Amino acid sequence: MVFQSYSSFPWLTVEGNIDFGMRYRNDLSVTQRAERVVHYLKLIGLEDFAQSFPNKISGGMRQRVAIARSLAAGSDVLLMDEPFGALDALTRERLQVELRQIQTEEAKTVIFVTHDVEEAVFLADRIVLFSARPARVLKDIDVASVLGAKRSLAARESQEFFKLRNDVLHLIRNEVDIAR
């Protein structure tokens, strides 16, 4: 699970935070755990910061550490609750691209909760829109069939992207009007 607020342990280094994700992995030796830490440090691009403490790295780096810690745990599903919400626009965009790459490389299912429509359209293979209370599924949208499974930032400038974003916004606005 990766949360919106930074969830790194301040008393552990970047390396220690990633290793912490494997604390219940009885199937890994100390050597295997160390190898996995190195693998995820490389994957998130923080090899040079392995011995740094969270208060010495940026917010974007801390979120990458949280992602690496969750991946190191070894589950097939990564739950993310608005993990980029507190980041500046450029860091958020960079991490969105990195998340798409990580998801492809690691072949994980990512359940990503966001209220940002553009973020949802860019990151998702599938968007599930919920109604107001009581929650029910309004629409299940197959984004990958419209934008393709692999996406770069250039996809954000395509007509298909804007149409899909506008369709999602329209559905949300209609639901808000109905709920009032």
Q: What is the rounded CA–CA span in Å between residue 144 and residue 127?
A: 10
pLDDT of residue 75: 85
Is the sign of the CA dihedral 132, 142, 106, 40 positive or negative?
Answer: negative
pLDDT of residue 151: 86
| Residue numbers of the chain with a pLDDT score lower than 70 | none
Torsional class of 148: left (φ above 0), alpha (ψ -120 to 50), beta (otherwise): left
Helix, strand and coil content of the chain, in percent to the nearest 5, comes to 55, 10, 35
Per-residue pLDDT tens for 8-43?
A: 899 999 999 999 989 988 999 999 999 999 999 998
Q: Tell me which fold the domain 1-113 belongs to.
A: Rossmann fold (3.40.50)
Q: What is the rounded CA–CA span in Å between residue 110 and residue 104?
A: 10
* Numbered ranges of CATH 3.40.50.300 in the chain: 1-113
pTM for the predicted model, two decimal places: 0.82
pLDDT of residue 60: 86
pLDDT of residue 1: 84
